[in-house]
Chains A and B, each alone.
Chain A
Amino acid sequence: MLTRLFVIALALLILTGASLADWDDAAGRGLIPFWINTPTHYTVLVFINGSEEYHDVLHLRFCNTEGDFCSDTTSDMFSIRDDEMLMFSTRENPPPLFNCTHIHVTAPHGYAMFRPLSGGFIHAFAFIVNEITGQLVTVPVHYQDSGF
């Protein structure tokens, strides 16, 4: 009887850890600015899973200049498989060459925070695109817990 209870408790513990892990449970944290979400400018965020064996879960939230969330926080969870590349755009219908998921952002500029759940080898880049001139700017991503 005690053994069964122990097994059930252990299973519940594992299930709770795996399925209910959320934004606050994430092991790695980074941030990056986004800029000018207007008809001529938009930002593309690129995440690449450097791990060749493990998948992870990404949470992604955009903040305005005061640090308040300006994207939907209920649907910010994305699974990223090993070796996979995920892209997100602040523009609603990005050109077909950018196979991005659209994230609706209510602020024209600010910064994006992201958190991988297991803290694997997720690499991130941001590209700010000017559609009229075709100019692209790369913005480096910083680890949230480091800095000056």
Chain B
Amino acid sequence: MRKVLLCIFALLLIHTTLFANWHDARSRGLIPFWINAGHFYTLLVFVSGNEQTPDTIHVRFCDDNGYFCSDTTGDMFAIRSRDMLAVTTKRKSGNPRLPVWMPTTASYGYAKFRARDGLPIHACALIINELSGATMVVPAYNQDTGF
């Protein structure tokens, strides 16, 4: 009986750590992205404000109707304590300094993100015009607050 209980407990633990997904996340935020075309692209920046514990971030881009327009199978990123994670809508074109590329099929919309353990993750979006060099900073909002 004890062995069975131990097995169930171990399975539960494995299930929680390995198969925790989009729906299991504890905190939710959103932020617009803009014009994934030509000389414009968006950079999403996540900074872990927690100095001791890592977390997992899921990022999904939606079009203006709310439909996912990015790959939902590869949306999970580990963010270590005090780590900064950047995700871009622009494909790496010989520029090694560009961060993780998330291909999106819509030219604008908004990005939803979820932090699995609900630790203090800070987020903002930078919308960049490569021609003029102009950059716009957009703050992220908690999905469960608002007007």
Contacts and interface: CB of A to CB of B under 8 A. Distances in A.
Interface of A: 28-30, 46, 48-50, 81-87, 97-99, 114-116, 119-125, 127, 133-138, 140-141, 143
Contacts of B141: 50, 123
B66 A50 contact: no
A116 B32 CA distance: 19
A50 B141 CA distance: 9
A19 to B, nearest CB: 22
A136 B144 contact: no
Nearest to B140: A123
B95 to A, nearest CB: 20
26 contacts: A46-B32, A48-B110, A50-B145, A83-B65, A83-B66, A84-B64, A84-B66, A85-B32, A85-B62, A97-B107, A98-B108, A99-B64, A116-B147, A119-B147, A120-B146, A122-B147, A133-B132, A133-B134, A134-B134, A135-B129, A135-B132, A136-B127, A136-B129, A136-B134, A138-B137, A143-B147
B37 interface: yes
Given A84-B64, A136-B127, A136-B129, A50 B134 contact: no
